[in-house]
Structure 1
Protein backbone atom coordinates (compact mmCIF):
# COMPACT_ATOMS: atom_id res chain seq x y z
CA UNK A 1 0.00 0.00 0.00
CA UNK A 2 1.30 3.43 -0.95
CA UNK A 3 -0.05 6.68 0.42
CA UNK A 4 0.23 9.35 -2.25
CA UNK A 5 -1.26 12.39 -0.48
CA UNK A 6 -2.31 13.61 2.97
CA UNK A 7 -5.30 15.88 3.59
CA UNK A 8 -5.43 18.02 6.73
CA UNK A 9 -8.27 19.58 8.64
CA UNK A 10 -7.24 22.94 10.13
CA UNK A 11 -9.11 23.82 13.34
CA UNK A 12 -8.00 21.60 16.22
CA UNK A 13 -5.14 20.15 14.17
CA UNK A 14 -3.16 23.16 12.96
CA UNK A 15 -5.02 26.17 14.40
CA UNK A 16 -6.06 26.59 18.04
CA UNK A 17 -9.64 27.88 17.87
CA UNK A 18 -11.96 27.72 20.87
CA UNK A 19 -15.13 29.65 21.75
CA UNK A 20 -14.04 29.56 25.39
CA UNK A 21 -11.16 31.96 24.77
CA UNK A 22 -13.61 34.78 24.13
CA UNK A 23 -16.55 33.77 26.29
CA UNK A 24 -14.48 33.25 29.43
CA UNK A 25 -13.99 37.01 29.27
CA UNK A 26 -17.65 37.77 28.53
CA UNK A 27 -19.30 35.22 30.86
CA UNK A 28 -16.96 34.53 33.81
CA UNK A 29 -19.37 32.14 35.53
CA UNK A 30 -18.69 28.67 34.13
CA UNK A 31 -22.24 27.38 34.54
CA UNK A 32 -23.74 30.40 32.76
CA UNK A 33 -21.11 30.25 30.04
CA UNK A 34 -21.68 26.56 29.45
CA UNK A 35 -25.43 27.12 29.17
CA UNK A 36 -24.95 29.93 26.65
CA UNK A 37 -22.56 27.96 24.44
CA UNK A 38 -24.68 24.81 24.63
CA UNK A 39 -28.00 26.53 23.99
CA UNK A 40 -27.45 29.82 22.14
CA UNK A 41 -24.17 30.04 20.19
CA UNK A 42 -24.16 26.30 19.66
CA UNK A 43 -21.71 24.51 17.38
CA UNK A 44 -24.50 23.52 15.01
CA UNK A 45 -25.21 27.25 14.59
CA UNK A 46 -21.53 27.88 13.87
CA UNK A 47 -21.65 25.11 11.24
CA UNK A 48 -24.41 27.01 9.41
CA UNK A 49 -21.92 29.82 8.77
CA UNK A 50 -19.24 27.27 7.95
CA UNK A 51 -21.65 25.94 5.35
CA UNK A 52 -22.10 29.27 3.59
CA UNK A 53 -24.73 31.21 5.52
CA UNK A 54 -23.55 34.79 5.97
CA UNK A 55 -22.55 36.06 9.38
CA UNK A 56 -25.19 38.77 9.08
CA UNK A 57 -27.92 36.20 8.41
CA UNK A 58 -26.76 33.85 11.13
CA UNK A 59 -26.50 36.60 13.70
CA UNK A 60 -29.95 38.01 12.89
CA UNK A 61 -31.47 34.54 13.04
CA UNK A 62 -30.08 33.90 16.52
CA UNK A 63 -30.97 37.33 17.88
CA UNK A 64 -34.56 36.77 16.76
CA UNK A 65 -34.64 33.61 18.90
CA UNK A 66 -32.72 35.02 21.89
CA UNK A 67 -33.14 38.83 21.86
CA UNK A 68 -32.14 39.05 25.52
CA UNK A 69 -28.64 37.81 24.55
CA UNK A 70 -28.12 40.14 21.59
CA UNK A 71 -24.85 41.65 22.82
CA UNK A 72 -23.32 38.24 23.52
CA UNK A 73 -24.49 36.88 20.16
CA UNK A 74 -23.08 39.83 18.21
CA UNK A 75 -19.77 39.40 20.01
CA UNK A 76 -19.32 35.93 18.51
CA UNK A 77 -18.25 37.17 15.10
CA UNK A 78 -17.47 40.80 15.99
CA UNK A 79 -14.72 39.50 18.30
CA UNK A 80 -14.09 36.20 16.49
CA UNK A 81 -10.28 36.70 16.31
CA UNK A 82 -10.18 36.44 20.09
CA UNK A 83 -11.18 32.78 19.76
CA UNK A 84 -7.98 32.05 17.82
CA UNK A 85 -4.91 31.75 20.03
CA UNK A 86 -2.47 30.78 17.27
CA UNK A 87 -1.08 27.64 15.69
CA UNK A 88 -0.81 24.20 17.24
CA UNK A 89 2.93 23.64 17.03
CA UNK A 90 2.85 19.83 16.97
CA UNK A 91 0.45 19.84 14.05
CA UNK A 92 2.55 22.39 12.17
CA UNK A 93 5.67 20.27 12.76
CA UNK A 94 3.83 17.29 11.26
CA UNK A 95 3.04 19.31 8.13
CA UNK A 96 6.68 20.37 7.91
CA UNK A 97 7.98 16.81 8.16
CA UNK A 98 5.56 15.51 5.53
CA UNK A 99 6.45 18.35 3.20
CA UNK A 100 10.17 17.66 3.75
CA UNK A 101 9.77 14.11 2.42
CA UNK A 102 7.85 15.35 -0.60
CA UNK A 103 4.36 14.21 0.41
CA UNK A 104 1.65 16.14 -1.50
CA UNK A 105 -0.50 17.98 1.06
CA UNK A 106 -4.05 19.31 0.79
CA UNK A 107 -6.45 21.10 3.15
CA UNK A 108 -10.14 20.47 3.83
CA UNK A 109 -11.67 22.68 6.50
CA UNK A 110 -15.07 23.60 7.89
CA UNK A 111 -14.69 27.36 8.10
CA UNK A 112 -16.78 30.45 7.36
CA UNK A 113 -15.74 32.11 4.11
CA UNK A 114 -15.90 35.45 5.93
CA UNK A 115 -13.54 34.58 8.78
CA UNK A 116 -11.12 32.31 6.90
CA UNK A 117 -9.11 35.21 5.37
CA UNK A 118 -8.10 36.32 8.88
CA UNK A 119 -6.37 32.98 9.49
CA UNK A 120 -5.04 32.68 5.93
CA UNK A 121 -3.23 36.00 6.21
CA UNK A 122 -1.72 35.31 9.62
CA UNK A 123 -0.71 31.65 9.72
CA UNK A 124 1.88 30.53 7.19
CA UNK A 125 1.09 26.85 7.66
CA UNK A 126 -2.23 27.29 5.85
CA UNK A 127 -0.36 28.25 2.69
CA UNK A 128 1.69 25.04 2.60
CA UNK A 129 -1.00 23.07 0.76
CA UNK A 130 -1.42 22.48 -2.96
CA UNK A 131 -5.16 23.07 -2.73
CA UNK A 132 -7.45 24.13 0.13
CA UNK A 133 -11.21 23.63 0.20
CA UNK A 134 -13.05 25.92 2.63
CA UNK A 135 -16.57 24.73 3.38
CA UNK A 136 -18.07 28.22 3.50
CA UNK A 137 -16.87 28.88 -0.04
CA UNK A 138 -18.36 25.71 -1.53
CA UNK A 139 -21.60 25.59 0.48
CA UNK A 140 -21.17 22.19 2.08
CA UNK A 141 -19.55 20.94 5.28
CA UNK A 142 -17.88 17.82 6.58
CA UNK A 143 -18.97 15.10 7.12
CA UNK A 144 -21.06 15.45 3.95
CA UNK A 145 -19.59 12.92 1.46
CA UNK A 146 -20.03 15.54 -1.29
CA UNK A 147 -17.27 17.73 0.13
CA UNK A 148 -14.91 14.75 0.22
CA UNK A 149 -15.77 14.06 -3.42
CA UNK A 150 -14.98 17.66 -4.24
CA UNK A 151 -11.65 17.37 -2.44
CA UNK A 152 -10.83 14.23 -4.39
CA UNK A 153 -11.59 16.04 -7.64
CA UNK A 154 -9.18 18.83 -6.66
CA UNK A 155 -6.47 16.36 -5.68
CA UNK A 156 -6.82 14.62 -9.05
CA UNK A 157 -5.95 17.89 -10.78
CA UNK A 158 -2.48 17.36 -9.31
CA UNK A 159 -2.42 13.55 -9.06
CA UNK A 160 -4.73 12.31 -11.84
CA UNK A 161 -4.74 8.59 -11.07
CA UNK A 162 -4.98 8.73 -7.28
CA UNK A 163 -7.52 6.48 -5.57
CA UNK A 164 -9.26 7.05 -2.20
CA UNK A 165 -7.24 4.18 -0.69
CA UNK A 166 -4.08 6.18 -1.39
CA UNK A 167 -5.25 9.15 0.69
CA UNK A 168 -4.94 9.92 4.39
CA UNK A 169 -7.33 12.40 5.98
CA UNK A 170 -6.47 13.87 9.40
CA UNK A 171 -9.24 15.55 11.44
CA UNK A 172 -9.84 16.16 15.14
CA UNK A 173 -13.56 15.43 14.65
CA UNK A 174 -14.08 11.69 14.84
CA UNK A 175 -17.22 11.76 12.65
CA UNK A 176 -15.28 13.42 9.86
CA UNK A 177 -12.47 10.90 10.09
CA UNK A 178 -14.97 8.02 10.15
CA UNK A 179 -16.73 9.37 7.05
CA UNK A 180 -13.43 9.51 5.20
CA UNK A 181 -12.80 5.89 6.11
CA UNK A 182 -16.27 4.87 4.92
CA UNK A 183 -15.48 6.55 1.60
CA UNK A 184 -12.35 4.44 1.21
CA UNK A 185 -9.81 6.96 2.51
CA UNK A 186 -7.64 6.35 5.57
CA UNK A 187 -9.36 8.55 8.13
CA UNK A 188 -7.22 9.46 11.15
CA UNK A 189 -8.86 11.03 14.19
CA UNK A 190 -6.30 13.55 15.42
CA UNK A 191 -5.89 13.45 19.19
CA UNK A 192 -2.22 14.41 19.11
CA UNK A 193 0.81 14.46 16.86
CA UNK A 194 2.44 11.38 18.38
CA UNK A 195 -0.60 9.17 17.85
CA UNK A 196 -1.04 10.49 14.32
CA UNK A 197 2.60 9.85 13.45
CA UNK A 198 2.25 6.28 14.70
CA UNK A 199 -0.80 5.78 12.48
CA UNK A 200 1.01 7.26 9.49
CA UNK A 201 3.92 4.89 9.98
CA UNK A 202 1.55 1.91 10.01
CA UNK A 203 0.40 3.18 6.59
CA UNK A 204 4.04 3.21 5.42
CA UNK A 205 4.19 7.01 5.24
CA UNK A 206 7.89 7.97 5.43
CA UNK A 207 7.88 10.31 8.39
Structure 2
Protein backbone atom coordinates (compact mmCIF):
# COMPACT_ATOMS: atom_id res chain seq x y z
CA UNK A 1 0.00 0.00 0.00
CA UNK A 2 1.71 3.20 -1.12
CA UNK A 3 -0.90 5.89 -0.54
CA UNK A 4 -4.08 6.58 1.38
CA UNK A 5 -7.18 8.65 0.83
CA UNK A 6 -9.93 6.88 2.70
CA UNK A 7 -13.19 8.71 3.42
CA UNK A 8 -12.51 8.37 7.14
CA UNK A 9 -9.24 10.30 6.87
CA UNK A 10 -9.40 13.74 8.49
CA UNK A 11 -8.58 16.78 6.37
CA UNK A 12 -4.87 17.30 5.70
CA UNK A 13 -3.55 20.06 7.96
CA UNK A 14 0.18 19.28 7.90
CA UNK A 15 2.27 18.53 4.81
CA UNK A 16 5.62 16.81 5.36
CA UNK A 17 8.18 16.57 2.57
CA UNK A 18 11.05 14.18 2.17
CA UNK A 19 14.06 15.90 0.56
CA UNK A 20 16.36 13.59 -1.42
CA UNK A 21 14.84 12.65 -4.81
CA UNK A 22 11.76 14.74 -3.99
CA UNK A 23 13.18 18.26 -3.73
CA UNK A 24 16.83 17.73 -4.67
CA UNK A 25 18.62 15.24 -6.89
CA UNK A 26 20.97 12.70 -5.31
CA UNK A 27 23.20 10.33 -7.25
CA UNK A 28 26.60 8.97 -6.09
CA UNK A 29 27.33 7.97 -9.68
CA UNK A 30 27.96 11.60 -10.60
CA UNK A 31 31.47 11.84 -9.07
CA UNK A 32 32.17 8.11 -9.23
CA UNK A 33 31.59 7.99 -12.99
CA UNK A 34 34.79 10.00 -13.12
CA UNK A 35 36.58 8.13 -10.34
CA UNK A 36 35.62 4.64 -11.56
CA UNK A 37 34.86 5.00 -15.29
CA UNK A 38 34.06 1.33 -15.84
CA UNK A 39 30.35 0.88 -15.07
CA UNK A 40 30.63 -2.74 -13.99
CA UNK A 41 33.52 -1.97 -11.64
CA UNK A 42 31.63 1.02 -10.26
CA UNK A 43 28.50 -1.04 -9.61
CA UNK A 44 30.59 -3.64 -7.81
CA UNK A 45 32.10 -0.90 -5.64
CA UNK A 46 28.65 0.33 -4.60
CA UNK A 47 27.40 -3.22 -4.08
CA UNK A 48 30.31 -4.33 -1.89
CA UNK A 49 32.19 -1.31 -0.48
CA UNK A 50 30.32 2.01 -0.19
CA UNK A 51 26.94 0.33 -0.05
CA UNK A 52 23.53 1.89 0.54
CA UNK A 53 23.45 0.20 3.95
CA UNK A 54 26.85 1.67 4.86
CA UNK A 55 25.74 5.16 3.87
CA UNK A 56 22.47 4.77 5.77
CA UNK A 57 24.39 4.50 9.03
CA UNK A 58 25.70 8.03 8.45
CA UNK A 59 22.06 9.05 8.05
CA UNK A 60 21.50 7.38 11.43
CA UNK A 61 24.23 9.54 12.97
CA UNK A 62 27.51 7.66 12.57
CA UNK A 63 30.45 10.00 11.94
CA UNK A 64 32.32 9.91 8.64
CA UNK A 65 35.70 9.21 10.26
CA UNK A 66 34.36 6.04 11.86
CA UNK A 67 32.52 5.06 8.69
CA UNK A 68 35.61 5.46 6.54
CA UNK A 69 37.87 3.65 9.01
CA UNK A 70 35.57 0.63 9.12
CA UNK A 71 35.66 0.26 5.35
CA UNK A 72 39.33 1.04 4.92
CA UNK A 73 40.14 -1.71 7.41
CA UNK A 74 38.22 -4.15 5.20
CA UNK A 75 39.29 -2.71 1.84
CA UNK A 76 42.68 -0.99 2.33
CA UNK A 77 43.30 -0.92 -1.42
CA UNK A 78 40.14 1.18 -1.85
CA UNK A 79 41.03 3.81 0.77
CA UNK A 80 41.08 6.78 -1.61
CA UNK A 81 37.82 5.75 -3.23
CA UNK A 82 36.17 5.31 0.17
CA UNK A 83 37.26 8.76 1.35
CA UNK A 84 36.06 10.17 -1.97
CA UNK A 85 32.44 9.52 -0.97
CA UNK A 86 32.40 12.31 1.60
CA UNK A 87 34.96 14.43 -0.21
CA UNK A 88 32.85 14.60 -3.36
CA UNK A 89 29.45 14.41 -1.71
CA UNK A 90 28.54 17.92 -2.86
CA UNK A 91 28.64 16.70 -6.46
CA UNK A 92 26.04 14.03 -5.72
CA UNK A 93 23.37 16.65 -4.97
CA UNK A 94 23.70 18.25 -8.36
CA UNK A 95 20.46 20.17 -8.70
CA UNK A 96 17.02 20.90 -7.31
CA UNK A 97 13.76 19.59 -8.74
CA UNK A 98 12.39 23.04 -9.48
CA UNK A 99 8.84 21.85 -10.18
CA UNK A 100 8.63 20.07 -6.81
CA UNK A 101 10.24 23.00 -5.01
CA UNK A 102 7.67 25.33 -6.58
CA UNK A 103 4.87 23.15 -5.24
CA UNK A 104 6.34 23.25 -1.73
CA UNK A 105 6.89 27.01 -1.80
CA UNK A 106 3.38 27.58 -3.19
CA UNK A 107 1.92 25.53 -0.35
CA UNK A 108 3.80 27.64 2.19
CA UNK A 109 2.73 30.87 0.50
CA UNK A 110 -0.88 29.70 0.61
CA UNK A 111 -0.57 29.29 4.38
CA UNK A 112 -0.23 25.52 4.63
CA UNK A 113 1.82 24.06 7.46
CA UNK A 114 4.88 22.55 5.78
CA UNK A 115 7.74 20.70 7.46
CA UNK A 116 10.38 18.23 6.24
CA UNK A 117 11.45 14.78 7.43
CA UNK A 118 14.62 13.38 5.93
CA UNK A 119 17.20 10.62 6.16
CA UNK A 120 20.34 12.74 5.96
CA UNK A 121 23.71 12.92 7.70
CA UNK A 122 23.82 15.98 9.95
CA UNK A 123 26.84 17.63 8.36
CA UNK A 124 25.88 17.05 4.74
CA UNK A 125 22.39 18.38 5.45
CA UNK A 126 23.87 21.70 6.55
CA UNK A 127 25.81 21.77 3.28
CA UNK A 128 22.60 21.04 1.39
CA UNK A 129 20.82 23.93 3.13
CA UNK A 130 23.63 26.28 2.12
CA UNK A 131 23.51 25.07 -1.47
CA UNK A 132 19.70 25.05 -1.66
CA UNK A 133 18.34 27.91 0.49
CA UNK A 134 14.72 26.84 -0.04
CA UNK A 135 15.44 24.05 2.47
CA UNK A 136 15.37 26.75 5.15
CA UNK A 137 11.89 28.01 4.21
CA UNK A 138 9.54 25.37 5.75
CA UNK A 139 8.58 25.66 9.41
CA UNK A 140 11.16 23.08 10.38
CA UNK A 141 12.88 19.80 9.63
CA UNK A 142 13.70 16.54 11.36
CA UNK A 143 17.11 15.28 10.21
CA UNK A 144 17.74 11.62 10.96
CA UNK A 145 21.46 12.08 11.56
CA UNK A 146 20.77 14.64 14.28
CA UNK A 147 18.48 12.39 16.33
CA UNK A 148 19.86 8.90 15.66
CA UNK A 149 16.75 7.50 13.97
CA UNK A 150 15.92 6.76 10.35
CA UNK A 151 12.86 6.20 8.21
CA UNK A 152 10.98 3.91 7.96
CA UNK A 153 11.27 3.25 11.71
CA UNK A 154 8.05 4.31 13.43
CA UNK A 155 9.89 6.30 16.09
CA UNK A 156 11.14 8.98 13.70
CA UNK A 157 7.60 9.78 12.53
CA UNK A 158 6.45 10.00 16.14
CA UNK A 159 9.35 12.28 17.05
CA UNK A 160 8.62 14.54 14.09
CA UNK A 161 4.93 14.82 14.96
CA UNK A 162 5.71 15.57 18.61
CA UNK A 163 8.46 18.07 17.77
CA UNK A 164 6.20 20.14 15.54
CA UNK A 165 2.90 19.54 17.35
CA UNK A 166 1.33 17.68 14.44
CA UNK A 167 -1.76 15.50 14.54
CA UNK A 168 -0.53 12.28 12.87
CA UNK A 169 -3.83 11.49 11.13
CA UNK A 170 -3.88 15.00 9.64
CA UNK A 171 -0.33 14.70 8.26
CA UNK A 172 0.33 14.09 4.60
CA UNK A 173 3.79 12.65 3.99
CA UNK A 174 5.50 12.81 0.58
CA UNK A 175 8.43 10.45 -0.07
CA UNK A 176 10.04 8.75 -3.08
CA UNK A 177 10.60 5.53 -1.09
CA UNK A 178 7.62 3.19 -0.82
CA UNK A 179 9.08 1.75 2.38
CA UNK A 180 9.13 5.19 3.95
CA UNK A 181 5.59 5.88 2.76
CA UNK A 182 4.47 2.60 4.34
CA UNK A 183 6.33 3.57 7.52
CA UNK A 184 4.36 6.80 7.70
CA UNK A 185 1.07 4.97 7.17
CA UNK A 186 2.00 2.53 9.94
CA UNK A 187 2.57 5.55 12.20
CA UNK A 188 -0.98 6.74 11.50
CA UNK A 189 -0.18 9.33 8.85
CA UNK A 190 -1.62 9.80 5.39
CA UNK A 191 1.04 9.45 2.69
CA UNK A 192 1.69 9.51 -1.03
CA UNK A 193 4.48 7.95 -3.05
CA UNK A 194 6.36 10.63 -4.98
CA UNK A 195 7.06 9.77 -8.61
CA UNK A 196 7.07 13.28 -10.06
CA UNK A 197 5.69 16.78 -9.65
CA UNK A 198 2.69 16.23 -11.93
CA UNK A 199 1.41 13.30 -9.91
CA UNK A 200 2.14 15.16 -6.68
CA UNK A 201 -0.09 18.03 -7.83
CA UNK A 202 -2.81 15.51 -8.61
CA UNK A 203 -2.44 13.89 -5.19
CA UNK A 204 -2.54 17.21 -3.39
CA UNK A 205 -5.63 18.30 -5.32
CA UNK A 206 -7.32 14.96 -4.67
CA UNK A 207 -6.62 15.32 -0.98
CA UNK A 208 -7.81 18.95 -1.00
CA UNK A 209 -4.38 20.13 0.12
CA UNK A 210 -3.65 22.28 -2.94
Q: What interval of TM-score do these two structures reach, taking the shorter chain for normalisation?
A: over 0.9
1:179/1:187 contact within 8 Å kept: no
2:108/2:138 contact within 8 Å kept: no
- Counterparts of 1:132 and 1:96, CA distance in 2: 15
- Counterparts of 1:110 and 1:125, CA distance in 2: 18
Would you say 1:179 and 2:188 are equivalent positions? no
Residue ranges of structure 1 left out of the alignment (5+ in a row): 157-161
Q: Deviations over 1:27-64 (max 9, x none)?
A: 11111111111111111100100101000000000111
- Counterparts of 1:67 and 1:79, CA distance in 2: 19
Matching residue of 1:103: 112
1:1-207 maps to which residues of 2 (within 5 A)? 1-156=10-165, 162-205=166-209, 207=210
Deviation (angstroms), 1:163: 2.4
User: Aligned pairs, how many?
Assistant: 201
SS in 2 for 1:170: strand
- Counterparts of 1:93 and 1:129, CA distance in 2: 12
Provide TM-score, normalisation by structure 2: 0.92
Runs in 1 of length 4+ with deviation above 2 angstroms?
none
SS in 2 for 1:24: helix
- Counterparts of 1:70 and 1:168, CA distance in 2: 42
Residue ranges of structure 2 left out of the alignment (5+ in a row): 1-9
2:15/2:112 contact within 8 Å kept: yes
1:9/1:109 contact within 8 Å kept: yes
Deviation (angstroms), 1:188: 1.2
Q: Deviations over 1:118-141 (max 9, x none)?
A: 111121210111111111110111
- Counterparts of 1:20 and 1:167, CA distance in 2: 34
2:114/2:139 contact within 8 Å kept: yes
- Counterparts of 1:81 and 1:147, CA distance in 2: 26
Instruction: Name the Cα RMSD after superposition.
Output: 1.0
Provide TM-score, normalisation by structure 1: 0.94
